[in-house]
Chain A
Amino acid sequence: SQKIEQNSEALNIQEGKTATLTCNYTNYSPAYLQWYRQDPGRGPVFLLLIRENEKEKRKERLKVTFDTTLKQSLFHITASQPADSATYLCALDADNTDKLIFGTGTRLQVFP
Chain B
Amino acid sequence: GAVVSQHPSWVICKSGTSVKIECRSLDFQATTMFWYRQFPKQSLMLMATSNEGSKATYEQGVEKDKFLINHASLTLSTLTVTSAHPEDSSFYICSAREQGGLFFGSGTQLSVL
Contacts and interface: CB of A to CB of B under 8 A. Distances in A.
Interface in A9-65: 34, 36, 41-46, 49
Interface string B100-112: 1111111101000
Contacts of B46: 99-101
A84 B13 CA distance: 35
Interface in B34-73: 34, 36, 42-46, 49
B101 A102 contact: no
Contacts of B85: none
Interface residues of A, number: 20
Nearest to B109: A41
Given A46-B102, A49-B101, A98 B32 contact: yes
Interface residues of B, number: 25
Contact of A89 (B43, B101, B105): B43
B77 interface: no
Contacts of A42: 106-107
B6 interface: yes
A43 B105 contact: yes
Contact of B49 (A44, A45, A98, A102): A98
Given A43-B93, A43-B95, 8 more contacts: A34-B101, A42-B106, A43-B105, A43-B106, A46-B102, A46-B104, A89-B43, A100-B95
